[in-house]
Structure formats: structure tokens, C-alpha cells
Structure 1
Amino acid sequence: MSGGRTARTSAVTVLAPAVWGSTYLITTEFLPPDRPLLASMVRALPAGLILLLITRTLPRGIWWWRAVVLGTLNIGAFFYLLFLAAYHLPGGVAALVMSVQPMVVLLLGAVLLGDAVRPAHIGACLLAAAGVAMLVLQPHAGLDGVGVVAGLLGALSMASGIVLTKKWGRPEGVGLLTFTGWQLTVGGLALLPVTLLGEGLPDHLTRANVGGFLYLGVVGALLAYVLWFRGLSRLPALAASFLSFASPLCATVLGYLFLGQGLRPLQLLGAAGVVGAVALAQPRGRQAAGPGAIGRPAPARSRVP
């Protein structure tokens, strides 16, 4: 992939984590309180079913269990842990906790994909972590044990999903919408019985609740994940993972615009550090066409007709 094409792919892909950064605002301002399971299920399942109705293609052979694994890691478990962290932590702090994801991808990519760990990658991880800390930590930032653990586990879940998605690719002849639909549906179905047993359904929903759920389902899941998996198929795993730092940036900007949260000089410096880290982690030259850079269909031996 040429450098210009890689840059364009990154620019489009970053829209997905930017949208996910709005999850914290939507959760606290529009959704029913203390409903992480319901929020996760409603975000995933309708979007997945819509894509399945459009594509009318189900997994075959080995891709049944692979779809279950990817759908659980990328969608089901990640969504629940994300919303649990959002309910228990301020949006910026939750984003900070989950910013360990690229570091996990760095390690898993080296083990499972054989990706080289370059000094620039380690430097980008440290720069991004420092930038996010300056960006989101406030003098009275609330730290809740449940939220911190949920954020860390959510980062581990999505990092594992990213690396396995790169390792397995997509089965031959399966398009992006189909692949996304499988995962959203699996994640939603996994959450459905747990939601009904653990939280039940609310007695009523306000217009704000309905609007919040529609936004998360259509924009935050259906559209965002199509863009995300498209980018993940074309970018190295670590480069794609670094784009997730757009989430705390977006969360901070939305807090400034809609919640009256001020921006101090230190936060602006942190934002610059995050942008610099993302740029440092993006592939250049031969790296863009190196191992794991281009998403390919799964090898023929791993596909079952």
C-alpha cells in the first residue's frame, strides 16, 4: 500500500474511534442509569441483524467458531466492559484506562503475528500514554475500582480481537458488511440472555433514551464498525490500534463543548502528544506493505466450503 493510500485509510478509519469517544457523553447524558448490559446489547444486536438481513450470508465451517470468538472479543465483552467503565468513571479517565490497548496489541502482535517491535513503537506507546494522562486527568478525577478493572479488561478484549482479526483475515468471498454483521450479531446474542437475567428491560424509555440508543446502534456500531474493520483489513494491527487514541481526544472535546469542562494548557499539550504518537505509529514506505499490513482472505487451508 502506498504512503498516500495508507494515510487516506488511516484518516477514514480514525472516524470510528472518534465516534466511540462520544460513548461516554451519550451514556451519562442520554441513556437510562446503571444499564451497561442493556446499552451494550441494544448497541450491537439490532445493527448486526440489519447487516445479516442485507447480506444474507452466514458463517461456514471453521468460521462459525471464529465468528464467535471475534464477536465476543470485539463486540460482546468489549461493549459491556466499555459501558461499565463509562458508568463508573468520568469519560476522560475511562478513556485513559483503556489507552493501554496499543501496548497490549504491541505484545500480542509480536507473539501471534510475528510483527517486529521497533523503538519507534515503544516510544509512541509511552508518548501516547503521557499525552492521554495530561489530556484527561483532572485535579478531582474520580477513580473507581470497578471502572478501572472494567477499562483494563475492555482494552485487553479489544486488543485480542484486533490481533486475531489480523491473524485470521476474512474468508474468501465474504465482504466487509457480512464480516461486520457476524460479529455484531454474535456479540449482541451473547449479551441478550445476560441482559434479561441480570438487568431486565426498563419499564419505560424517554425520548432522550431512544435517541441515545439509536445513535449508538446506527452511528456507534453499524457505521463505525464497518469503517473500523475496513481499516483493520488494510493497516498493520498496531497502527490501527493507535488510532483508538482518537477516543479520549473526542471525549475531551465533547466535554468541553457540551459539559462545560475547561481545557487547560497542559491538556492542549497532551492532545498534541497523542496526535504525535498516532503519527509516529503509522506505517511508512515498506512498512505499509509489510507483514500484517494488508488484510487478506484467510489461507485456503483454513477455509471450509
Structure 2
Amino acid sequence: MEKRLAQVGYGGKVEELPPFGGSGVLLVLDRDHRKSPLCLRESPLTAVAFRVLFAFAWALLLPLMVWRPRRLRVPVARLPGLALYGLVAVAANYVGYFYALKYLPVAAAVVLIYTNPALVVLLSWPVLGERPTARELLALLATFAGVFLVAQGYAPGELALGWKGVLFALVTATSIAAYNLAGKRYVRELDPWTVMFYGLLFGGTLLAGWWAAGERELAYPPGAWGLVALLGLFPTLLGYGLYLKGLRYLRAGHAAIAATAEPFLAALWAFILLGERLEPLQALGGALVLGAVLGLQLRSR
């Protein structure tokens, strides 16, 4: 039974990764503002806040919630923890992610952010009682090397660092680690979609308040709003929900390592949709990441 559950967990991860990778194409588009309808580097908070708010709106329409509203019932004692989860795992995650990209080259931001699996694997022992295995540690090394190659960290100037960007990237890495560790604890006793719903509720509330007090930028063309709505549905709502579902059956470290396939999938989307060249070293990096993920999956069978 445990082997079957692990396979189901990896199934959730496989379903979750393509939409996450697809959202990475926006970062490629944003390198040229003439191609990007969002201009994420100029007003990241607007894109982030409304992406989460649209995701929450979609969640309200989710059949699982409409037909089974009892899923939303949680013990009152759990609400403060879920609120903190939404603030750290949702709000801090997105804000840190887009501001890191504002102040750092994409490669530097991606390499720093994807140190988060190391945090998850190391902290899973004291927090969740999941002792790191030799296979996980080897997979960590392979995925970090793979992400470095996919992000083209070897290119001149791509790892130029500024303290603001480094700070936001590390905030993002820490928030993703918290998302994995706290999410794993919550899905042991709550439905994954319930955890996702409250994470979006509390995280979206903070982001909306921050946006209202600051940017208040709404000057996007209609097509951009449609894009934000789609981002709210696919990589945000379905991505979070399926990730949490996968966490119910996987070790937190395995889930975090599997998620490192996102940068490679983003590069593949850019190759397929935008015709961007995928360099041999990027392909090698993708093979390292996918090989590490498949190695963990085969071990779980």
C-alpha cells in the first residue's frame, strides 16, 4: 500500500509541474517588455496580488468546495496556524520570487531560490521525523547542478548579485521550504484542498492589503487580465492543490526535489512556444534534474 501511495504522490507532482513550468515562460517574455503584457519587473506586486486573488476566486468555484462545503470546516484552533501558513507560504513566496527577479538576473535568482530543497531535506528530520537518505543527498547535488546549468549560471555576468535580490531570493527559498514542511504536517490531518483554500485566503488578503496601500496599479490591457486569471487557475490554484495532494503521499524532501524540474520545463515551454534555443548544457542540466527525480521515484516503488 505504501508503494502505491508513493506512486500516487509522484502522479500529483507530474500533473502539477507542467503548469508551473508554463508560468516560467512569463519570465522569458518579461526580458523584452514589448513581448510581455504584464511588465512584471515594473509592477510585480500587482501581478502577484491579483494572481492569488484570482486563484482564490477560482477556488470558490471549485466543484470540490461547492458540492462539499464541509471541506472548509476546520477546528478554530487551526486557523492561526493556517493564517501564518498563508502569509509565509503564499504571500512571502510570491512577493520574494518576483522581487528577486526584479533585482537579480534570472539565472542568479533561480539558482538561489532552488536551494530550497536542501532546506527541506535537512529540516525534515527535526520537523517531520524524516531522516535524510543517501539517495536524497545525491539527488540534491544532481538537481542543484542541473538547475545551475538550466538557468545558464555559467554565462558571463549571469550570477551578478545585489544584496536586495539575494535577500528576496533567500526569503523565497525559505518560504518554499516552509510551504513544504508545514504543508506536509497539515495534509496529514486536513484535506489538501482545504489547506490550499485557507492558504490562498490569508495570503491573498495580505497581498491585497499591501497592494491597496502601495502600487494600486490597474493599467493592464484586457489581454493581460485574462492572462493573470489563467495564471490564477493553472499554476496557482491547481499547482498548489496538486502539490499538497502529492505531499500527502511523498516525503517532503522528495516533493521538493521533484519540483526542481520547473526551470527545465519553463525552458522547454520557451523552446516550444517561443522558439528560444535550448543549449546543450541546458539539456544536460534538465537530464540531471529529471534523472534525480526518476531515481527517487523508482526507489519508492
Give the TM interval when normalised to the shorter protein: 0.7 to 0.9
Give the match's secondary structure for 2:115: helix
Q: Equivalent pairs: percent with the same residue? A: 27
**Residue 37 (structure 2) aligned to one of 22, 30, 34:** 30
1:201-212 superposed matches below 5 A = 201-202=217-218, 204-212=219-227
> For 1:246 and 1:212, how far apart are their aligned partners in 2?
23
Q: Deviations over 1:42-95 (max 9, x none)?
A: 111232244346337354322111111211222111011122223344545433
1:75 maps to 2:62: no
1:148 alignment partner AA = V
In structure 2, the residue matched to 1:196 is 212
1:42 maps to 2:50: yes
Give the match's secondary structure for 1:30: coil
In structure 1, the residue matched to 2:239 is 224
1:186 maps to 2:202: yes
1:62 maps to 2:93: no
What is the root-mean-square deviation of aligned Cα atoms in Å?
2.4
Instruction: State the TM-score, normalizing by the size of structure 1.
Output: 0.83
Give the match's secondary structure for 2:84: helix
In structure 2, the residue matched to 1:163 is 181
Distance of aligned partners of 1:45 and 1:243 in 2 relative to their CA distance in 1, 3 Å threshold = same
**Residue 264 (structure 1) aligned to one of 279, 284, 294:** 279
In structure 2, the residue matched to 1:9 is 9
> For 1:265 and 1:168, how far apart are their aligned partners in 2?
41
**Residue 149 (structure 1) aligned to one of 163, 167, 173:** 167
Unaligned runs of 5+ in 1: 289-305
In structure 2, the residue matched to 1:294 is none
Unaligned runs of 5+ in 2: 31-35
Give the match's secondary structure for 1:22: helix
1:11 alignment partner AA = G
CA contact (8 A) 1:85 1:147 kept: yes
Give the match's secondary structure for 1:210: helix
CA contact (8 A) 2:107 2:159 kept: no
CA contact (8 A) 2:58 2:233 kept: no
CA contact (8 A) 2:136 2:254 kept: no
CA contact (8 A) 2:49 2:204 kept: yes
Q: Deviations over 1:205-260 (max 9, x none)?
A: 21331122012111121221111111111111011111111211112112323444
CA contact (8 A) 1:98 1:155 kept: yes
> For 2:100 and 2:297, how far apart are their aligned partners in 1?
28
> For 1:8 and 1:85, how far apart are their aligned partners in 2?
33
Distance of aligned partners of 1:86 and 1:24 in 2 relative to their CA distance in 1, 3 Å threshold = farther
Query: Runs of 4 or more off by more than 6 Å in structure 1?
Result: none
Give the match's secondary structure for 2:24: helix
Instruction: State the TM-score, normalizing by the size of structure 2.
Output: 0.84
CA contact (8 A) 1:95 1:247 kept: no
In structure 2, the residue matched to 1:293 is none
Give the match's secondary structure for 2:130: coil
**Residue 177 (structure 1) aligned to one of 179, 193, 212:** 193
Q: How many residues align?
A: 283
